[in-house]
Amino acid sequence: MRILVTSDIHGNKALVYLIRRTVERENVDALIIAGDIAPKAFYTLFDAGFRYDFYSPFPLRNKKAVLSGAAQVVEARLDLLGYIENPGLGLNPTVFISKQKEKLGQICELLRAIDVPVYMLIGNDDHIVDEDWDGILDDYGILNLNSRTHMLGELKVTGFQYVPPTPWNTNNERPESELSQKLDNIRGQVDTDTVLVTHGPPMGTLDVVTSGLHVGSESVLQLVKDKQPVFHVFGHIHEAFGSARIGGTICCNVSCMWTDWFLRGYLLDTKGPSIRKIEEEVSLETIGSLL
């Protein structure tokens, strides 16, 4: 069985199109996305005469090309790349979350076209309440991994959405003591025939941020050491994409670089088991063809 795993697309629909193409090209049997699905970037567009200018706290690659053309074309490009329009100077959290829900539905609609099971975990930058998240995924036939287990052939796929505290006070952050308690809800489901999917990494494995600090979870690490799932898949820390081992468990940080329009992930093969890195860039030509 071949499973495509990725994470942290942050609303970039161009990456979703690459995911769909990769599923078809690689003859994939299932897709797992380990959180941070909805957009987190917001922007204000300014008309500057014969061109447009742009404000966002998040960088925009190829800014001149993206902002060229008619306003509706520019707005369509920004939507495709995972940016939410914010006409005012201050961000309204209620409006932002409402737009996250709308964009999540659009992404699920694109993923519904894939003719394989799709498993999805909420991330810390998905500021959608659990009931709304559950409803949207149910509407589109996406398999919800939030502290749940599903069968995939002879394997179990078990998810855990909570992460240690960050400086940004995002969703589903919990202190380590509470993480350990919440892991009790899935601990009995994890064994050597499990693909464990967490949003955050285990402490000390593929969890180093730019400052050099390790920011993974001790409780998740202990679970992996104790239960030795065949694969452990996670994202969250974009700087730490790659693979490693904890005992007999193959660990993969599968986070994308959504602002660089870069799909990243791994192809898991249950025979062996083995993994193969997937990396593919979205070009301006590809973006143009999707509008």
Instruction: Identify the band that residue 197 occupies on the pLDDT scale cut at 50, 70 and 90.
Output: very high
The DSSP-derived string for 228-285 is: --SEEEE-S-GGG-EEEEETTEEEEE-B-BGGGTEEEEEEEETTTTEEEEEEEEPPHH
**Dist. CA 94–CA 276, nearest whole Å:** 40
pLDDT value of position 50:
65
Q: How many domains does the chain have?
A: 1
pLDDT confidence of 100, banded at 50, 70, 90? very high
What is the average pLDDT across 230-255? 98
User: What gap in Å lies between CA 74 and CA 222, rounded to an integer?
Assistant: 47
Question: Which of 14-18, 51-55, 238-242 shows the lowest mean pLDDT across its residues?
Answer: 51-55
CATH of the domain at 244: 3.60.21.10
Q: What confidence tens digit (pLDDT) does each residue in 50-91 have?
A: 678 888 989 999 999 999 998 899 999 999 999 999 876 667
* Percent of the chain with pLDDT strictly greater than 90: 90
Give the confidence band of 271 by pLDDT, cuts at 50, 70, 90: very high
Model confidence over 26-47: pLDDT tens digits? 999 999 999 999 999 999 888 8
159 CA to centre of own chain: 13
* Predicted local distance difference test score (pLDDT) of residue 145: 98
**Angstrom distances, CA of residue 24 to CA of 33, 217, 266:** 16, 34, 15
Model confidence pLDDT, tens digit, residues 104-142: 999 999 999 999 999 999 999 999 999 999 999 999 999
> pLDDT at position 89, please?
60
50 secondary structure, DSSP code = S
pTM: 0.97
Q: Is the pLDDT of residue 5 over 80?
A: yes
Collect all residues with Cβ–Cβ distance below 8 Å to 69 and sequence separation of at least 6. Answer: none
Alpha-carbon distance of 283 to 88, in angstroms, equals: 30
Is pLDDT larger for residue 48 or for residue 172?
172
What is the span of the domain harbouring residue 258?
2-290
Whole-number Å distance between alpha carbons of 285 and 273? 37
User: How many Cα atoms within 13 Å fall on the side-chain side of residue 25?
Assistant: 9
Q: Which two tokens stand for residue 251?
A: 């660990």
